[in-house]
Amino acid sequence: MTTASTEHLRTVLFNRIPEVTLVFWVIKVLSTTTGETAADYLIDQVGLGLTLTALLMSAVLTIALFVQFRTRRYQPIAYWTVVVLVSIVGTLITDILTDELGVSLWLSTGVFLVLLGATFGIWYAKERTLSIHTVFTRRREAFYWLAILVTFALGTAAGDLLSETIGLGYLVSTILFSALIAAVAVAWRVFGVNSVTCFWIAYVLTRPLGASIGDLLSQPASHGGIGLGTTVTSVVFLAVIVVLVGVLTVRIRRQRAEAEGRIATSPLDQLAEPA
């Protein structure tokens, strides 16, 4: 087998996070939107309030992370459950800083940007890579999830800064972040910009994009939205996520069966499970 083929098989068989495909980005944006609207629903409709909601969802996230770290390799249900919960907790962290502690969005955006840079710096210093294609160990996965949490908090702060503080509005913010993500895709595909760099930039940008879409759909017309409400928006998007995760579960099982069939007659030392 070629080196590229071997690396692909290792990713399918051993990686603890999914391959980056169009479906990956669709679910990412949907989970972000669900996180935004679900947090609003729990705070306002259920009446839990910001602090209690944050504590409750942090506890649920801790349980979900425990399950995720117990898996030997990528499992769609466990992985995307964590993503949805991280999106909620990341949103709540920024909301607490802004609404409860009075921290300006300018400051929180800057702080989260520094924290993300520090996370990447320590991650690279320890692992010598930031690639998501080789998250074979739990230590690399721990760095990955820490970076994901910070990107959600950063994206929330940056998105709120543009849509509320600067006053762009939900529709303009949606268009702006969509255009920025498209520019990143062009930079990667056409100009050959480093794929890892482009991935993390796009990952940060999908957070405010999803939040802007969620607010655009759920907020009343008087606030610049369409007025579907947080309940309808959350349920519809969560249903789509469940369907797509089901599709991914079937797909990864098929890919692993094919990969295991291919290595049956190949040198196994090249494909040994990473320690």
Please give the chain's pLDDT, 275 residues, in tens: 455 456 666 667 778 888 888 999 999 999 888 877 777 788 888 888 999 999 999 999 999 999 999 998 899 999 999 999 998 898 899 889 998 999 999 999 999 999 999 999 999 999 988 888 888 889 999 999 999 999 988 888 887 887 777 777 888 888 999 999 999 999 999 999 999 899 999 998 998 888 788 888 888 888 888 988 878 888 888 899 999 999 999 988 888 888 777 766 665 455 555 55
Calculate what percentage of the chain has a pLDDT beyond 90.
44
Residue 219 resides in a domain:
yes
Q: Where are the alpha helices (DSSP H) in 15-137?
A: 22-40, 50-70, 76-95, 105-127
Q: Phi, psi at residue 5, to the nearest 5°? A: -65, -40
Residue 8 resides in a domain:
no
Residue 234 resides in a domain:
yes
Question: What is the rounded distance in angstroms from the CA atom of residue 24 to the CA atom of residue 136?
Answer: 19
pTM of the model: 0.86
**What does the block give as tokens for 92?**
């709540």
Residue 250 resides in a domain:
yes
Residue 14 resides in a domain:
no
Domain that holds residue 72: 23-259
CA atoms within 13 A on the CB side of 68: 29
Number of domains in the chain: 1
Q: What residues contact 227, with CB distance under 8 A and at least 6 apart? A: 218, 219, 220, 221
Residue 7 resides in a domain:
no
Question: What is the rounded distance in angstroms from the CA atom of residue 250 to the CA atom of residue 258?
Answer: 13
